[in-house]
Amino acid sequence: MSSADLSFGAALAVDGGRPLSPALVEEIQAFCDLVEDAPGGTAAVIRLHGAQTPLDWPGAVGVDLVGRWEKALRRLERAPGVKIAVVDGPCHGPALELLLTCDYRIGAPDAMFGFPVRDGGVWAGMAVHRLVSQLGGTAARRMVLFGTSLSAQRALDAGLLDELAPDLDGAAARMAAAAAELEPDELAIRRRLVQDAAVTGFEEALGMHLAACERTLARLRDGAKGQVL
């Protein structure tokens, strides 16, 4: 894995064949530092790939390290700006878990997605929760219960991917340019509303949505005043 400054603002490359380790967690945290320090409206890109044979993810580790990994993923998921994932080839293990934290996901036509099976079942980390929350139980069932893999086209149809593109860099650059037009604070609010919708009742959600609407209306009013002046 490596990270470097690109035109996107911050970039990260993740090998899905890598087992969980303290170094992997620290690299995700360091990437979060770059994303959080980037200027508003700057998109980050995460490049994901893996070996043809899935590894025994996460490996022989303790639950404390698993907890640190999950906290790093949650930090990335909530980080400001748009996170764009590009997937080339197999995507499993840490690559799949990172994919599920990203806002926009682009896959090559030969991409494949799945959970590695270990000890008679897939790894029961928070990636299962994210997958079910994002795709619904029906779409996620076979991946979670039986370790079934999805082709790129099936991942697109299920909503795991947002688009297929033979030119991953070009597609990511186009999406980054579109993301630059968004207001970072408003983007963060809408991301949170989307993430909370599946687990929040209507009455509880209503107040949060009204607050977001009031922010938008206040900005419109301020803009109108500025035009008058």
pTM, two decimals, is: 0.83
Please write the tens of the pLDDT for every residue from 170-226. 999 999 998 888 877 777 777 777 777 766 777 776 777 777 778 777 877 777 665
Residue 123 near residue 143 (C-beta atoms within 8 A): no
The CATH classification number of 2-179 equals: 3.90.226.10
159 pLDDT above the threshold of 80: yes
38 pLDDT above the threshold of 70: yes
Question: Greater confidence, 186 or 105?
Answer: 105
For the chain, strand residue ranges (E) read: 2-4, 10-15, 44-49, 83-87, 90-91, 104-107, 112-113, 117-118, 121-122, 150-151, 163-164
Average pLDDT over residues 95-111: 96
10 pLDDT above the threshold of 90: no
Cα–Cα distances in angstroms (integers) from residue 205 to residues 28, 192, 194, 200, 201, in the given order: 31, 11, 11, 6, 6
Average pLDDT over residues 89-101: 95
